Amino acid sequence: MIRNENRQRRRSIIRPLAIIAAATLALSACGTPSAAPPGQAGTGGAAQGEGGGSKVIIGVGGQTLLTYLPTTLAQELGYYQEEGVSVELQDLQGGSKALTAMIGGSTNVTSGYYEHTIQMQAKNQKIKAFVDMGRSSGLALLVAPKNEGKIKTIADLKGKNVGVTAPGSSTDMFIKFLLAKNGLQQTDAAVSAIGAGSSAVAAMEQGQVDAAVMLEPDVSVLTKRIGHDPVLLEDVRTTEGLKEVFDADAWPSASLYAKADWLDQNKETAGKLARAIKRTLEFIDGHSGEEIAAKMPEKFAGGDKALYAGVIEELKKTLSKDGAFTEDGVQAVLKTQRVANPEVGDKDIQLADTYTNEFVK
């Protein structure tokens, strides 16, 4: 079992940090809304053209989530202002809510997961990502403590109940992809919505589910609660894990995306936003977790800046360094969607219309 040995080695390399729940970093589901009816895809009333309003409203899919840290850090560093654009960040506490707000026209840009651009193209909505922040989705498939020694492989999940944040979320898509990849039907394992944060940890600790797809800091909180590393079936928080699962070195996740027509009408503004994020990614790469934590809003640290700094130091490994999407990365995301999302399936998806690197060159 080379795969099991690889997972054991990853566990020893990236032993989760013991993060207290009070760090307020609970993750939210990244589901996708229904397509907006024609004519209802507004522009949010800001930056409707290069000569229009100068403010840009960015909806964030959970502002305290570390996956979206660059979006807030760019504002704290003053980079948006230095680039000449006024930005208002709206904390919408979930990727699906942030996307829905943009589709409905109350925001201009979304700080959310790249996979939404593919999902929305399948619904005939033209959404395009223009700067990549994350090279990994940060997902891990864990066995519940009650089943340690009983569930050793993906095949052992047949007939079992797997926890996900919510139906249609990235966590749901991940388990569906893994089942199919291992020769099982997507219906061979039931999925249950366990949310994130304390509810997800409790569901695992109390044996309400047999396994679960989780993210940080939930993995670390669970580790602390049970007193040992949980059994990992798959883990794509590292380059090694991404290569094993997706045969790719990157799986674009957190990004800035907007409606294609907004980008066409606001190229200069989009360029300013992209440059601000690119500068922020360079700042993150060149500074310690402690230095980065010192720039973030005090409340984000949940009362323990040292722990927050440690989490950020680990986060740096999963972030893009230049804001550019890679071909193998977007292909990996599409591959996941084709297998896991029937709304995408074998539809003709034009990846070139879901992202662009023109603003980060």
> What is the pLDDT at residue 30?
46
Q: What is the mean pLDDT of residues 27-31?
A: 41
Q: How many CA atoms lie within 13 A of 160 on its CB side?
A: 26
CA distance linking residue 122 with residue 126, whole number of Å: 9
Taking the C-alpha atoms of residue 354 and residue 164, their distance in angstroms, rounded to an integer, is 26
Q: What is the pLDDT of residue 169?
A: 76
The pLDDT of residue 344: 94
Q: Provide the pLDDT confidence category of residue 227 given band limits of 50, 70 and 90.
A: very high
Residue 128 has pLDDT above 80, yes or no: yes
Q: Name the average pLDDT for the chain.
A: 85
> Could you tell me the fold of the domain covering 55-136+251-353?
D-Maltodextrin-Binding Protein; domain 2 (3.40.190)
Q: Mean pLDDT throughout 275-295?
A: 97
Round to the nearest angstrom and report the end-to-end CA distance of the chain: 43
For range 282-297, the mean pLDDT: 96
Q: Give the count of alpha carbons within 13 A of 357, CB side only.
A: 11
- For 311-353, write each residue's pLDDT tens digit: 789 888 889 999 999 998 999 999 989 988 889 999 999 999 9
The mean pLDDT of 6-33, rounded to a whole number, is 42
Q: Which amino acid is at 43?
A: T
How sure is the predictor about 93, in pLDDT bands with cuts at 50, 70 and 90? low
For residue 135, give the 3-state DSSP assignment.
coil
- The answer to whether 111 and 71 have CB atoms below 8 angstroms apart is yes
User: Over 60: is that where the pLDDT of 38 sits?
Assistant: no
* Numbers of helices and strands, H then E, in the chain: 14, 10
Percent of the chain with pLDDT over 90: 58
Task: Write down the pLDDT at residue 199.
Answer: 87
Could you tell me if 276 and 85 are in contact, meaning their C-beta atoms sit under 8 angstroms apart?
Answer: yes
Q: What is the pLDDT of residue 295?
A: 97
Nearest to 307 by CA among 293, 287, 328: 293
DSSP state letter for 250: -
Residue 26 has pLDDT above 60, yes or no: no
For 2, 5, 85, 127, 277, the CA distances from 270, given in Å and listed in that order, are 45, 45, 9, 14, 11
CB-side exposure of 229: number of CA atoms within 13 Å?
16
Residue-wise DSSP of 256-268 = EEEEHHHHHH-HH
Per-residue pLDDT of 174-217, as tens digits, reads 999 999 999 999 999 999 999 877 888 999 999 999 999 987 77
User: pLDDT tens, 247-264?
Assistant: 888 899 999 999 999 999
> What are the residue ranges spanned by the domains of the chain?
2-25+139-235, 55-136+251-353
Instruction: Look at domain 2-25+139-235 and name its CATH class.
Output: alpha beta
What confidence score (pLDDT) does residue 24 get?
36
> Which pLDDT does position 167 carry in this prediction?
77
Q: Is the dihedral of CA 65, 68, 72, 78 positive or negative?
A: positive
Residue-wise pLDDT tens digits, 43-83: 444 444 444 447 999 999 878 778 889 999 999 999 999 99
Domains 2-25+139-235 and 55-136+251-353 share a fold: yes
Q: Which carries the bigger pLDDT value, residue 323 or residue 173?
A: 323
